Chain A
């Protein structure tokens, strides 16, 4: 158990809908990262937050957004869902902001768009 929690574990929704994925980092970790894992693209970095502020952006679609709250949990919002958004979404956390450090992954949310 990495100490990172994610809810829900599974999510099935229809095209055009909006969903919210939730992540709680390990105790004491200030950085949260979101990654998408799909069969064709592998594991891709989406976005990073550090202590409530956006720190880095990767291959995140404009239909997707995220935020980190004062209690450090984070939410990833996916809107206008398309079939191609079906994937595993992972949250990871680490302790630091500027120094490269270990990232610990949660169990993921499997999103299925029908």
Chain B
């Protein structure tokens, strides 16, 4: 019940395309859903996060869509660029238990 399932494992998109990464969870107590971006040799960097009281959040070219009834959330990257090539992790946590439960990660490649 603590798992967060992420798909796909890897994704290749042409420059300008819109990669979509999906995550699903079981624990309805999760109330915070961040996305992290990780480049090789670096630590995960917080990209954008959402709470279940909203269905969508946009920050720059990054958008989270959240479906509470389906217990799913996804990351969309608009106008993707080669510099967006990285591994993306979704995560979830509960109020009062701040540990992040991570998905398995998606290796995204944006071809020029």
| Chain A residues in the interface with B (C-beta under 8 A) | 2, 4, 31, 33, 35, 42-45, 48, 55-56, 58, 90, 94, 96-108
Q: Does B83 contact A (CB under 8 A)?
A: no
B: contact size bracket = 20 to 34
CA distance A90 to B100 in the complex (A): 13
Set A42, A94, A106, A108: member contacting B98, Cβ < 8 A: A94
> What is the chain A residue whose CB lies nearest that of B31?
A100
Residues of B within 8 A of A55 (CB): 98
Q: Tell me if B49 and A43 are in contact (CB < 8 A).
A: no
Q: Tell me if B45 and A2 are in contact (CB < 8 A).
A: yes
Q: Is the contact region of chain B dominated by helix, strand, or loop, or is it mixed?
A: strand
Q: How far is the CB of A36 from chain B (nearest CB, A)?
A: 11
CA distance A97 to B42 in the complex (A): 26
